[in-house]
């Protein structure tokens, strides 16, 4: 199967399944079944595009703030929603630790989900034999 670049450029990134079928009269034969992953075309993204998830960005910002190397943008990130939201730079050390743990767990869960999607073992399986 072959698709020209102009056609595939219009396809949205994501996971897809396909099925190739040959038809002759009333006969139908499936000749191929599979799946494919269409990735984001990095050449079409705006300059400075950041592919990290929200959780990874927040974790990186918290670590940078703790190490006194946060950029102005990172220290202005908001934690929480609504009237209770606060800028990272205004959190106490204890609050930073709590949020760091929260985002570490979230990032780890994202990594495990990605491994599962790719068909790999996320490493959190305990095997028992009786």
- pLDDT tens digits along 45-85: 888 888 899 999 999 999 998 888 888 888 888 887 777 78
* Residue 72 maps to a domain: yes
Alpha helix segments (H runs only) across 20-92: 54-66, 72-75
**pLDDT tens digit sequence for 5-51:** 888 888 898 888 999 999 999 999 999 999 988 888 888 888 888 88
pLDDT bin (cut points 50, 70, 90) of residue 104 is very high
Helix (H) or strand (E) holding 24: strand 14-24
Q: Look up the pTM and report it.
A: 0.62
Q: Tell me if 19 is assigned to some domain.
A: no
Instruction: Tell me how far the alpha carbon of residue 63 is from its chain's centroid.
Output: 20
Q: Taking Cα atoms as reference points, which of 92, 115, 108, 116 lies closest to residue 59? A: 108
Residue 126 falls within a domain, yes or no?
A: no
Range(s) of the domain holding residue 57? 50-117
Number of structural domains (the chain) is: 1
The whole-number pLDDT of residue 126 equals: 67
Sort strands 86-87 and 78-79 into parallel, antiparallel or unpaired.
Answer: antiparallel
Q: Does 112 reside within a domain?
A: yes
| Residue 1 or residue 62, greater confidence | 62
């Amino acid at each position: 199967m072959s698709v020209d670049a102009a056609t595939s450029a219009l396809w949205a990134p994501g996971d897809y399944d396909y099925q190739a079928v040959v038809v002759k009269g009333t006969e139908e034969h499936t000749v191929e079944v599979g799946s494919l992953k269409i990735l984001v075309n990095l050449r079409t993204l705006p300059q400075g595009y950041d592919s990290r998830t929200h959780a990874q960005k927040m974790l990186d910002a918290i670590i940078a703030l703790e190490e006194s190397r946060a950029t102005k943008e990172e220290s202005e990130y908001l934690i929480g929603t609504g009237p209770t939201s606060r800028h990272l730079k205004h959190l106490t050390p204890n609050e930073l630790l709590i949020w760091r743990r929260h985002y570490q767990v979230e990032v780890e869960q994202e990594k495990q989900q990605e491994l599962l999607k790719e068909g790999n073992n996320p490493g959190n399986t305990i095997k028992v034999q009786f």
